[in-house]
Structure 1
Amino acid sequence: MVKTRIAPSPTGDPHIGTAYTALFNYAVAKKNKGKFVLRIEDTDRARLVPGATEKILDSLTWLGLAWDEGPIHQSDRLSLYQKKAKELVGKGLAYYCSCSSERLEKVRAEQQAKKEVPRYDRKCRQKPPSKEEIEKGNCVIRLKVPESGETSFEDLVRGEITFQNKDIDDSVLLKSDGWPTYHLAVVVDDSDMEISHVIRAEEWLSSTPKHILLYNAFKLKPPIFAHLPLLRNPDKSKISKRKNPVSLIWYKEQGYLPQALLNYLSLMGWSMPDEREKFTLKEFIDNFDFARVDPSGPVFDLQKLDWLNGQWIRSLPEKELADRLKDYTKRDLKQIEIVLPLVRERLKKLSEFEAQTKLFFEEPSVDTKLLLDLGHNEKETKEALGEAAKLYKGLGWGTPRLEGETRKLSEKLGWIASDLFMCLRIAITGSKVSPPLFETLTVLGKEETVKRLKKISSLFSK
């Protein structure tokens, strides 16, 4: 059976990279009628953040990436890792190390001064600590990497990859406090949970030969590996919160639809056979093939995501969209439904709804300089606003009638129609950019429209 997993660490807000990796793992499992496992890698006790696990679960649920097994916490499996590490020592495939952090820092500094790659110098491999030192509980357990030969594996994205064993560090497997490092825990867990495909970010590529050596040491068959390209900032650097939002919670709070975010992440290093950009999760699963994954780092472009999210917003049934907007505005459902048709085409994120519709519920402030910038003096502007208010007060209310009569008014006043329309738009909405003018007036109502025009007209001297 095909079995994949996502294994985030609860060290902060759930990362956009976690969603990206989870999506590909989920797709491979579902395409092959397999299982998708959620594992919480909480062995780095110093970096644990309270509540982070719950945020991970909430974010994956929001995205619709339902797991079939888990969540499984590594912290519940401590005795298993300890047993496995000691098993390797017993086989002569790992060893105890008593080197202090001060000594390791000194060795690292000396290596850097010589422009050498920092690594453990294998002191305790050559001269093991005494039984008494080991019994004190201050030793770590390190992997005993072969000093010659090479370690190879096949990657579904990158093909065959080979590492020279002499270049692989004797990494720590079990820390002195009895907690495992990533290298030991990931191999023990993936084997124990029968994970068939390890699909993860390319940053773990250099760790894979250590994992292969561990599988060999335990006499276990390694899983199939696939290392996805890292998401990149526009300047091609690794995606980071300094240049791009990385918290999944931020994307939810901004009003990105989960189906739009998954759609966009699908396009990061992968493409549909027919090159279309908008598609559902099911369509992604049905068409997924590792042969179409490009190993070069895709650029995560927020503007492109905004565009795609806007496409998804407009594809939602109006009732469903109105219901989703309730979490992003203080307006009630009836108010949302009244103004939604006017802003639907302009929304890129659900969070924009409040700002774009505020003018319907709260009187805006108006900068009279914007009105005078249209090329008419105070007297002409005051006259235009006053005449419009007088016209609208006695007019039947409705979009076609409003536009027709306002065009006639522009001719009467000697204004270019577009200038008068902009003058009215600014006076009514406080901005040069708003939903369509006459549809806005229709929804706003005669009384409120006339009141706003009179108020702004009164700001100009006679």
Structure 2
Amino acid sequence: MTVRVRFAPSPTGMFHVGGARSALQNWIYAKQQGGVFVLRIEDTDAARNKPEWTEGILSALDWIGISRGSYEGPYFQSANAGEHRAAAARLYESGRAYYCDCTREDVQARTGSQYQGYDGYHRDRGLGPGPGHALRFRTPDEGATVVIDLIRGEPTFENKLIEDFVIARGDGSPVFLLANVVDDMTMGITHVIRAEEHLPNTPKQQLLWEALGVKPPIWAHVPVVVNEKRQKLSKRRDKVALEAYRDEGYLASAMRNYLMLLGWAPSGDREIVPWSVIEDEFRLDEVNLSSAFFDEKKLRAFNGEYIRALPVAEFVDACQPWLTGTDTIAPPPWQPEEFDADAFAAVAPLAQTRIAVLSEIVPNVDFLFLASPLIDEAAWTKTMKDGSAELLDDAVAAFEALESWDAESLKSTLEAVGAERGLKLGKTQAPVRVAVTGRTVGLPLFESLEVLGRERTLTRIRAARLRLV
């Protein structure tokens, strides 16, 4: 038997990080088993679907390494509408489903039966199809439905506690529960790997598989992803869009490594490992049952480690969207002609050790490419105290006299300027840093001044001095 797994997102919004984790888990399992990964776009919610959301799904999968052409699909659920209706008809004709015209108020008015929710009122009343007549599945009264789950063992559900659930609406359109089952059957899906939030629907889906005469798939329900308050990640409350992390400058390699750690861990006391190790070691039956905490701070730390591990040339290339403002990235504060690739290459090794996401490269290097620095007024107020004007005068004079404009000479010169005033280097260089870069923190000062050059450095210090008059 060829293993066939599917990832079936809906094109109704940005790509959820929890969905990205499910996609990766399905992808790896298929590769391990020599199977097939199927992408199905569940697009039957016409009111909320947008073509750009479908493209967003495809591009997000590309980004995390599930590239177009390497999987089967994408298929679209809407294209299978005829099969959905045919399956509903077969279930009715075989007696496994019946029509019901009860309203929600009718169902709520009747209580005290053995059923949860709907009490089977129309089971044997012989109501036929018609406007407003929903089709309900006839759940067995006795026995239990056992779900074979690679993570959770064999969850068992008493059939008498499962209501006769709707499989087609009053207008004849099948509900998602039935459509999902029919699509999986049509596509020959053998394993369904998804979040545990879908587990309550699984016995209903399994009953549908069996009623339609097809062996159910093997299930695997992975733990739900939660925030720091142990609440399920929500689009309305939490930062969950994979695209947002991509556009902020998270590396795909860091993101997919971190996502795979949500509920699972590689062997040994390690978390940052090559992707090939994850592909080799991941096992569904080793996934934890407890909820998986999506820790953005930890992801950020992960990303910083991945950035620092890049060869410098790759780091320079990775920063280009933020430096040039290409694609959907916000444009930098300088004009394209002001950007100096050689200057950036000179400071890139320094910047690489100081940023956690690629978008942080802009405030670290903007002073190199702007005619004048962007002054942080809070930093200016904090730094430019009594005596700063005189200190800047002395720095200008000392720097003007330098024969060699290099980091070591600049450092020793400014150190001497501070010593004459009884100041340590940290106190001495703070006003100079703000004057030249506009900030109190950033790249190493003297290496930055070396790249900026004598003329631009002196011009900025003089301008700061005039502001202190």
Length-normalised TM-score, structure 1? 0.91
Specify whether residues 232 and 332 from structure 1 end up closer, same or farther in structure 2 by C-alpha distance, changes over 3 A only: farther
Specify whether residues 367 and 38 from structure 1 end up closer, same or farther in structure 2 by C-alpha distance, changes over 3 A only: closer
**1:151 aligns to what?**
145
Match of 2:122 among 96, 109, 124: 124
Specify whether residues 141 and 343 from structure 1 end up closer, same or farther in structure 2 by C-alpha distance, changes over 3 A only: same
1:151 Cα offset (Å): 0.8
State the SS of the aligned residue for 2:156: strand
2:73 paired with 1:70: yes
2:344 paired with 1:343: no
Partner AA of 2:307 in structure 1:
I
Between 298-307 and 176-185, the greater mean CA deviation after superposition: 176-185
1:26 Cα offset (Å): 0.4
**Partner deviation per Cα, 1:142-172 (whole Å, 9 max, x = no partner):** 2111122211122111111011111112222
Distance 2:369 2:105 in 1: 63
**2:373 aligns to what?**
364
Partner AA of 2:64 in structure 1:
L
Distance 2:236 2:428 in 1: 45
Specify whether residues 367 and 65 from structure 1 end up closer, same or farther in structure 2 by C-alpha distance, changes over 3 A only: closer
For 1:235-274, what aligned pairs fall within 5 Å after superposition? 235-274=229-268
2:299 paired with 1:305: yes
**Partner deviation per Cα, 1:309-365 (whole Å, 9 max, x = no partner):** 111112222222222222122346445423322211111111111122112222224
Q: Tell whether the 8 Å contact from 1:120 to 1:170 is kept in structure 2 after alignment.
A: yes
**Partner deviation per Cα, 1:123-160 (whole Å, 9 max, x = no partner):** 22242324xxx2x4443322111122211122111111
2:210 paired with 1:216: yes
2:107 paired with 1:107: yes
**2:454 aligns to what?**
446
Q: Tell whether the 8 Å contact from 2:343 to 2:451 is kept in structure 1 after alignment.
A: no
**Partner deviation per Cα, 1:227-277 (whole Å, 9 max, x = no partner):** 011110100000113442111221121111111110110110000111311
Distance 1:195 1:406 in 2: 70
Distance 2:10 2:450 in 1: 53
Between 188-197 and 3-12, the greater mean CA deviation after superposition: 188-197
Length-normalised TM-score, structure 2? 0.90
Distance 2:23 2:382 in 1: 53
Distance 1:148 1:263 in 2: 46
**1:6 aligns to what?**
7
State the SS of the aligned residue for 2:148: strand
**1:139 aligns to what?**
133
Percent identity between the aligned chains?
A: 38
Specify whether residues 281 and 96 from structure 1 end up closer, same or farther in structure 2 by C-alpha distance, changes over 3 A only: farther
**1:57 aligns to what?**
58
Specify whether residues 370 and 193 from structure 1 end up closer, same or farther in structure 2 by C-alpha distance, changes over 3 A only: closer
Between 293-302 and 321-330, the greater mean CA deviation after superposition: 321-330
Q: Tell whether the 8 Å contact from 2:225 to 2:232 is kept in structure 1 after alignment.
A: yes
1:419 Cα offset (Å): 0.7
2:97 paired with 1:89: no
1:187 Cα offset (Å): 1.7
For 1:40-51, what aligned pairs fall within 5 Å after superposition? 40-51=41-52
2:406 paired with 1:388: no
1:306 Cα offset (Å): 0.7
Match of 2:270 among 252, 271, 276: 276
**1:430 aligns to what?**
438
Between 299-308 and 59-68, the greater mean CA deviation after superposition: 59-68
Distance 1:13 1:448 in 2: 44
Distance 1:394 1:207 in 2: 78
Distance 1:219 1:368 in 2: 72
Specify whether residues 242 and 381 from structure 1 end up closer, same or farther in structure 2 by C-alpha distance, changes over 3 A only: same
How many residue pairs align between the two structures? 450
Partner AA of 1:55 in structure 2:
G
**1:400 aligns to what?**
408
Match of 1:79 among 73, 79, 82: 82
Specify whether residues 45 and 169 from structure 1 end up closer, same or farther in structure 2 by C-alpha distance, changes over 3 A only: farther
Partner AA of 1:221 in structure 2:
K
Partner AA of 2:395 in structure 1:
A
1:407 Cα offset (Å): 1.5
**1:205 aligns to what?**
199
Q: Tell whether the 8 Å contact from 1:371 to 1:381 is kept in structure 2 after alignment.
A: no
1:417 Cα offset (Å): 2.1
Q: Tell whether the 8 Å contact from 2:116 to 2:162 is kept in structure 1 after alignment.
A: no
Specify whether residues 368 and 26 from structure 1 end up closer, same or farther in structure 2 by C-alpha distance, changes over 3 A only: closer
Partner AA of 1:62 in structure 2:
W
Distance 2:376 2:73 in 1: 57
**Partner deviation per Cα, 1:171-191 (whole Å, 9 max, x = no partner):** 222233443222212222222
Q: Tell whether the 8 Å contact from 1:342 to 1:440 is kept in structure 2 after alignment.
A: no
Cα root mean square deviation, aligned: 2.3
Partner AA of 1:421 in structure 2:
Q
Q: Tell whether the 8 Å contact from 2:396 to 2:458 is kept in structure 1 after alignment.
A: yes
Distance 1:332 1:397 in 2: 19
1:369 Cα offset (Å): 7.3
Distance 1:286 1:309 in 2: 22
